[in-house]
Amino acid sequence: MPLIKAVALDVDKTITEAGTISPPVLKALRKLEKGGIAVILSSGNALPVLTGLKKYVGLSGAVIAENGGIVYYKGRIVKIGNREKALAAKRLVVEKLADYVEESWQNPYRYSDFAFKAKVDIETAARKVRELVCSRMKEMRVYSSGVAIHVGEKSVNKGVGLKKACGLMGLSFSEVVAVGDSEVDESMFKVAGASIAVANAVPRLKALADVVTSCREAEGFIEAANYILRRRYTHRL
């Protein structure tokens, strides 16, 4: 019976609401840590954003940044993916799709996954970016997190990052529960021993999840955290 030792946790629209982290969410994060469950932040955000969050909240798990492109744990940084290919894709988007997207302020701090903010509705912008990049660079993929559009290699994803994080932390995959909301989290759900989708998750992710919360976003995470602490074993989710 695999004991839950860590939670791999998406950030935007999973522990945030309207882009902020509330005091009850901070309390739930610390409750997990006090309960012996390490919190692994797994996000499309750049490494400096996530390491700052990890430090000031007081989390003990690894950080998976850039949707798996960077993994950080106890001073060690592991870079995953081909930076030159990702940079070429970024330049292509900047040159051809300025009417639809603009670069994220985080891009100067990113390694192999580059982010864009939509100037039009995000579904249209993501479709335009996907059509352009994937038609010219077959090895690349385009994700929409619902917050930003991410461009990187198909071989780099949160699942790959979670495998590396587990190795650094000495965990088996079966000891980890993944929690998320978007298509970007699918690969992480397929690696973890168990998975929870918050109520606002996309249908594809809900179909993969062992549990779907009744509440959305931040309240959904708090529900998930309490559920994990009650169950303790991945096979019981």
And the tokens for 137?
A: 């660079």
Closest CA to 154 of 167, 146, 142, 171: 142
Q: Using 50, 70 and 90 to split pLDDT, how confident is the model at 146?
A: confident
| pTM beyond 0.85, yes or no | yes
pLDDT surpasses 80 at 127: yes
Active site residue 185: no
Sheet (strand 149-153) strand order: 101-103, 113-118, 149-153, 140-144
Taking the domains of the chain in order of start, what are their residue ranges?
6-79+156-236, 83-153
Measured in whole angstroms, the distance separating CA 47 from the mean position of its chain's CA atoms is 12
What does the DSSP assignment read for 170-230? T--GGGEEEEE-SGGGHHHHHHSSEEEE-TTS-HHHHHH-SEE-SS-HHHHHHHHHHHHHH
Query: Domain 83-153 - what CATH class?
Result: alpha beta
User: Per residue in 178-237, pLDDT tens?
Assistant: 999 999 999 999 999 999 999 999 999 999 999 999 999 999 999 999 999 999 888 888
Residue of 10, 12, 113, 181 marked active site: 10
> Is there a shared CATH topology between the 6-79+156-236 domain and the 83-153 domain?
no
Q: How many CA atoms lie within 13 A of 72 on its CB side?
A: 23
pLDDT of the residue at 226: 97
Of the candidate CATH numbers 3.40.640.10, 3.90.1010.10, 3.40.50.1000, 3.40.50.2300, the domain formed by 6-79+156-236 belongs to: 3.40.50.1000
Q: How far apart are the first and last CA of the chain?
A: 12
User: Per residue in 79-109, pLDDT tens?
Assistant: 999 999 999 999 999 999 999 999 999 999 9
